[in-house]
Structure 1
Amino acid sequence: MTSDRPAPRLSAALVAVALVVAVVGSLGAPLITSVATTLRVPLAAAQWTLTVTLFAGAIAGPLLGRLGAGPLRRVTLLGSLAVVVLGGVLTALPLPGGAGAAFGVLVAGRGLQGLGLGAVALLMSVARTELPEARSASTIAALSVASTVGIGVGYPLVGLIDQLAGLRAAYAFGLVLSVASLVVAWRSIPRDAPGPTPRLDIAGAVLLGLGTLGVLLVVAEPAVWTPPIVGAAILALSALVLAAWAVVELRVPAPLADLRLLGRPAVLRANSAMLVSGVGMYLIFSLLTRFLQTPAGSGYGFALPGVAAGAALIPFSALGFVAGRVAPRMVPRTGARGVFALSAAAVAAAAVLLAVGTGSLAAVLLAMTVLGFGVGGVSAVMPRLVLEGVPAAETASVLSINQIVRSVGFSIGSALAGLLLAAATPAGALVPPAGGYVVASLWVLPLLAVGTLIVAVRR
């Protein structure tokens, strides 16, 4: 089925909505310090304005994907964007109450905004079913890129607004973007054809949500490992919950995710490669952003303020979108696996540039730029790999699981960056030596090599 709307217009609208969702989802990153100082909460607590968004997106993704598998796709997509707008209202308006209450409302708003991250798979489903085949593939690639490298688009602007007008003004910017994306989606997303209403696997949704939340918690919040027995217990319990989820999904008539479909070799390989490569990609991304902001007096680094560090992400995003355009055109010549390998090599090259160029700002910025091209290429080709042989009706469901895998991989990469740098930091020091960054960046190479090997295996 294809839409009666002009394909270029629908394609542009889908990418615009995905870009806004990524920008709004990442608003917490440049504002963590501002939240801590403005609302007088510990920095670790302020981190939840970013973490809760990731949690909400991971939990909501499969549920939205299943709802979007039938005639409720438009309603589900518009409803999720409306909830994002409501979350934006809670983040932008200073409601009555003390600092603690204000922080609680802010975290709740950020949680609601996280639902937008779970809607990206629905946008890809619309592209696959409503656009001609050639444009569908390129649009899905662009959507995947926008949902990843779009993080760097709003970072410098949000940081500047916060610096000039304050925290609430920065979140108000996100609210304006959310409203605009809802209007664009309402005017552009085609109405769905009649059909049976999908049944919701509530038990599966609860189990998957709890299991995913536990895994993300232990990899994104190092504090749960103090004492270590607590982190180990949460991880073990999460594994049991996910095992119970798998049992439920194999037995219910309308599962949240078709595990038999996800168990197909091509889908399983793609998700495994996304997990391992996602760890490597976010590991080097975290190292680069931290290195640029290393404070003066450390003997290395460049002590870039928040706005300047955000501006350093502009070439990352720009080259990511270039890769999103180039990668699909390379597939007929090199194959999707070849594009993945080349993109993974670019990520590895960024890691090497950081390892050998810690004393040069130009080298570090070049590493950030090359990383953007690599991340964009991996993001662009991943939907093609994961959807190989998947029925169109299962697009949103399968891609929503891939989004969770990517979120978990990114979370592990972020946590691994902190762990490696902490291990390299001498007792009593605030920052690690420059060699700590060199060693940590070299961890990226085997991760990307493993991801490439997983994709290369055809049987």
Structure 2
Amino acid sequence: MNRPASRSEPRLLVPSLFFIALVVAAVGSLGAPLITSVATTFQVSLASAQWTLTITLLSGAIATPVLGRLGAGPHRRGTILATLAVVVAGSALTVLSLPFAWLLVGRAAQGIGLGLTALMMGVARDHLPEERGAATIALVSVASTIGIGVGYPLAGLLTELGGLRVAYGLGGFVTAVAFLAALRSIPVPPEGRSARVDVPGALLLAGGLFLVLLLASETSLWSQHVCLAVVLAALAVLLLCTWTAYERRAKSPLVDVRLVRHRAVAVANVVTLVGGVGMYLLLTLITRYAQTPRSTGYGFGLTTFTAGLVLVPFSLLGFIAGRFTPRLRERIGAPLSLAGSAVVVLGAFVLFAVARSNVADLLVAMAILGFGVGSFSAAMPAVILAVTPQSETSSAMSFNQVVRSVGFSLGSAVGGLVLAAGTDTGHLFPTDVAYTTAAWIGAAATAAAALTTLALARERTAAAVR
């Protein structure tokens, strides 16, 4: 594998890649803990305020494959800087005293930054020695996950101390620092690269993803307008199938579906989807449970900030797992590492389902979830990149990031739907049993992911023996 000489590596490259991935994930997640504050500050409904998170996921999912294709070409450095500039501009819109519509525009601009994670992986693979590059890619993948755990408590604290604008101001500050870090450390890509954005493919994929994420985010469609939801779901499937067929014939596809169809990559993406569902489902359950008033007979009545602190073990153990997993993966292989990670996440679901009588139980469940998700995120890129050409790193990983975003949205939606179904008429909060039901649903999905990765591991072992 041809790599640039390690002596040309900028001194701050690895910390910059990690920091940028952490920042865009943390800023993208700011919408979740601030929904109530947005509704109060702008005097809009909670459903409208929810769009500060939804529109970020939408713009991120749509922009990610386009950025991944641009990142495979000669203008990757310019693409990274331009994207961060858009995120900085969007952050400014969230801080300025403007109408609610401009806040949504700013959040959409911030969401575009979610597509940078795959480009950070491409930079690491091109400009670092193989072993260090693999470890950095794993760390970047983990950063894109633990950034969520970092953003929640900080946003809650700043909202309580200085209000909504101060919390969004933190996002503006760190994205400006990320832009300066990229300007100083991101190198130009190797010569001989070319990339042409497949505009028809991008439009088809954007349409399909928009409908998928809309249906996942707007759960009221399924409860109040079932026929419309079914029609939109059918249209989403049609658009995505049309996109797949078009990409197979395109000379310069947005995503090389031949790589996506490879068994190892396909399994990895399916497991990423299920893993994303499980992660966001349990995050939703635990944070909502922690903030539920004690008067309901369960819950702990924690404030937004205190509930956010419950996520600290998630981020801490996720980071530790990200550092530990690459060495474990070398010993037992990436598929088996994925399976082990899924089993750990399964343990977190089981613990929450059977033991949540005090805050310590939630902290332990979050720590276990963080370790499992961190290990999962660190092992995932190795499975995909093992069969991906170096020049296609950004494109292949961008598709995986899209799948992860869809999983996050579906996980949040599943949690919302189950808890809504478990809320008695005339009551504001769901029953305690609804949380147990949702936890066992997540456990079943995670168990399926573990079995899928075990099958892949057995297949790899059998192929090696032959």
Scaled to the shorter chain, the TM-score interval is over 0.9
Q: CA RMSD in A?
A: 1.4
Q: Give the AA of the match of 2:82.
A: G
Kept after mapping to 2: 8 A contact 1:267/1:388: no
1:443 is paired with a residue of what secondary structure?
A: helix
The reply on whether 1:93 has 2:96 as its aligned counterpart is: yes
Residue 304 (structure 1) aligned to one of 297, 302, 311:
302
Kept after mapping to 1: 8 A contact 2:281/2:415: yes
Q: Which residue does 1:58 correspond to in 2?
A: 61
Q: Give the gaps of 5 or more residues in structure 1.
A: 96-101
2:295 is paired with a residue of what secondary structure?
A: coil
Evaluate the alpha carbon distance shift between residue 435 and residue 223 of structure 1 in structure 2; reply closer, same or farther with a 3 A threshold: closer
Q: Which residue does 1:27 correspond to in 2?
A: 30
Residue 205 (structure 1) aligned to one of 202, 205, 220:
202
2:34 is paired with a residue of what secondary structure?
A: helix
Residue 169 (structure 2) aligned to one of 166, 169, 172:
172
Shift of residue 429 of structure 1? 2.1
**Percent identical:** 51
Q: Which residue does 1:42 correspond to in 2?
A: 45
Q: Give the AA of the match of 1:160.
A: L
Could you tell me how far apart the structure 1 residues matched to 2:93 and 2:324 are? 39
Shift of residue 5 of structure 1? 4.3
Kept after mapping to 2: 8 A contact 1:358/1:434: no
Kept after mapping to 2: 8 A contact 1:300/1:358: no
1:410-448 deviation line (CA, Å, top 9, x unaligned): 111111111111222222222222222122111122211
Kept after mapping to 2: 8 A contact 1:214/1:235: yes
Which range moved further: 74-83 or 383-392? 383-392
Matches within 5 A, 1:157-196: 157-195=154-192
2:292 is paired with a residue of what secondary structure?
A: coil
Could you tell me how far apart the structure 2 residues matched to 1:303 and 1:5 are? 53
Q: Which residue does 1:98 correspond to in 2?
A: none
Which range moved further: 364-373 or 277-286? 277-286
Kept after mapping to 2: 8 A contact 1:69/1:397: yes
Q: Which residue does 2:381 correspond to in 1?
A: 383
Shift of residue 360 of structure 1? 2.1
TM-score, normalised relative to structure 2: 0.95
2:294 is paired with a residue of what secondary structure?
A: coil
2:151 is paired with a residue of what secondary structure?
A: helix
Kept after mapping to 2: 8 A contact 1:327/1:381: yes
Kept after mapping to 2: 8 A contact 1:145/1:321: yes
1:1-44 deviation line (CA, Å, top 9, x unaligned): 23544476311110011111111111111211111111111111
Could you tell me how far apart the structure 1 residues matched to 2:127 and 2:202 are? 27
Q: Which residue does 1:269 correspond to in 2?
A: 267
Q: Which residue does 2:77 correspond to in 1?
A: 74
Q: Which residue does 1:255 correspond to in 2?
A: 253
Q: Which residue does 1:99 correspond to in 2?
A: none
Kept after mapping to 1: 8 A contact 2:125/2:134: yes
Residue 373 (structure 1) aligned to one of 368, 371, 374:
371
Could you tell me how far apart the structure 2 residues matched to 1:193 and 1:321 are? 30
Shift of residue 452 of structure 1? 1.6
Shift of residue 340 of structure 1? 1.3
Q: Which residue does 2:336 correspond to in 1?
A: 338
1:328-375 deviation line (CA, Å, top 9, x unaligned): 111122211222122111111111111121212211211111111111
Kept after mapping to 1: 8 A contact 2:123/2:189: no
Q: Give the AA of the match of 2:353.
A: A
Q: Give the AA of the match of 2:433.
A: G
Kept after mapping to 1: 8 A contact 2:278/2:442: yes
Residue 86 (structure 2) aligned to one of 83, 86, 96:
83
Q: Give the AA of the match of 1:335.
A: G
TM-score, normalised relative to structure 1: 0.96
Q: Which residue does 1:227 correspond to in 2?
A: 225
Q: Give the AA of the match of 1:227.
A: H
Could you tell me how far apart the structure 1 residues matched to 2:274 and 2:57 are? 18
Q: Give the AA of the match of 1:438.
A: T
The reply on whether 1:415 has 2:418 as its aligned counterpart is: no
Q: Which residue does 1:283 correspond to in 2?
A: 281
Q: Give the AA of the match of 2:163.
A: G
Residue 348 (structure 2) aligned to one of 338, 345, 350:
350
Kept after mapping to 2: 8 A contact 1:7/1:131: no
Q: Which residue does 1:449 correspond to in 2?
A: 447
Kept after mapping to 1: 8 A contact 2:311/2:366: yes
Q: Give the gaps of 5 or more residues in structure 2.
A: 460-466
Kept after mapping to 2: 8 A contact 1:284/1:444: yes
Evaluate the alpha carbon distance shift between residue 423 and residue 235 of structure 1 in structure 2; reply closer, same or farther with a 3 A threshold: same
2:298 is paired with a residue of what secondary structure?
A: coil
1:206 is paired with a residue of what secondary structure?
A: helix
Kept after mapping to 1: 8 A contact 2:193/2:391: no
Shift of residue 224 of structure 1? 2.5
1:77-113 deviation line (CA, Å, top 9, x unaligned): 1111110001011111113xxxxxx100000000001
1:191-230 deviation line (CA, Å, top 9, x unaligned): 2233354111101101100100101111111122321011
Q: Which residue does 1:295 correspond to in 2?
A: 293
Q: Which residue does 2:462 correspond to in 1?
A: none
2:428 is paired with a residue of what secondary structure?
A: coil
The reply on whether 1:103 has 2:73 as its aligned counterpart is: no
1:37-77 deviation line (CA, Å, top 9, x unaligned): 11111111011111101001100000001011111111111
Kept after mapping to 2: 8 A contact 1:7/1:132: no
